[in-house]
Structure 1
Amino acid sequence: MELKKISDRVFYYPHQPETDRPLLAYLKGEKIILAVDAGNSADHVDEFYKSLEVEGLKKPDFTVITHWHWDHTFGMHHIHGLSIAHHKTNEFLNNERAKLLDREYIQFLKRDDERLAKEYVDNKSMIVVLSDIQF
């Protein structure tokens, strides 16, 4: 998958429906670079960052989270820079982090969502963190 260019300052990494990897946006300011959403896993973040490297773009300084769904937040532990999210997003993430201590809950999630199961094969860990900056 390759990074798509909208303008000299706006790029996006396309949605990948087979594993429910959402579109990730990249906004290049004069001083600060912002990513929109953290993706659904460390692998997703790595792919996104590799696509930035191919284009000669720096990693984001901040990653803003649009909402709490797993496919937008489960890559937060692996991002460069700081994350920003609403306090209700952090509340959800804190609850989800507690639930993920239960292996049965993880198995339920994988049975319930085949795209999550495809992303988290071979006992790959689901790591949930709260945002660095909360509003």
Structure 2
Amino acid sequence: MKIFIASDHAGFALKRAILEHLRAAGREVEDLGTHSEESVDYPDFAHTLAARVAREAEARGILICATGIGMSMAANRHPGVRAALCHDAYTAEMARRHNNANVLCMGGKVTGEAVAKQMVDIFLATPFDGGRHARRVAKLEAKDE
């Protein structure tokens, strides 16, 4: 599974910690920026990552800004992207099981490093349940068209 990760300046420190965590686990991850704590505009990074995830069916993305709100709003403007703002292990699991989310969004100023790593691991390992949930996700995709 290809994993893309991006952040703005407010999410940079947490992104760096998650990158180290994923690489230590042997995961293939591509860092799409930002590469410092210098102020940048979060939509630029959300749009870049969302476009990549939308093109690669099996890819997953991770976006981090101060709260995760802006990143999720920007990413969800892309057809085929289902970005979920998560705050804990349960929301990360349900984003995958029930919503087939392909982008995990979180807040670098509101999510601790240990919780963030746990969310990432769960998000990447959890399958989509399908069934009645597939019907609902299809309605999301139909709205994109």
TM tier relative to shorter chain: under 0.3
> What TM-score, normalized by structure 2, do the two folds share?
0.27
Query: Which of the pair has more CA radius of gyration?
Result: 1
Structure with greater helix share of residues: 2
TM-score (norm 1): 0.28
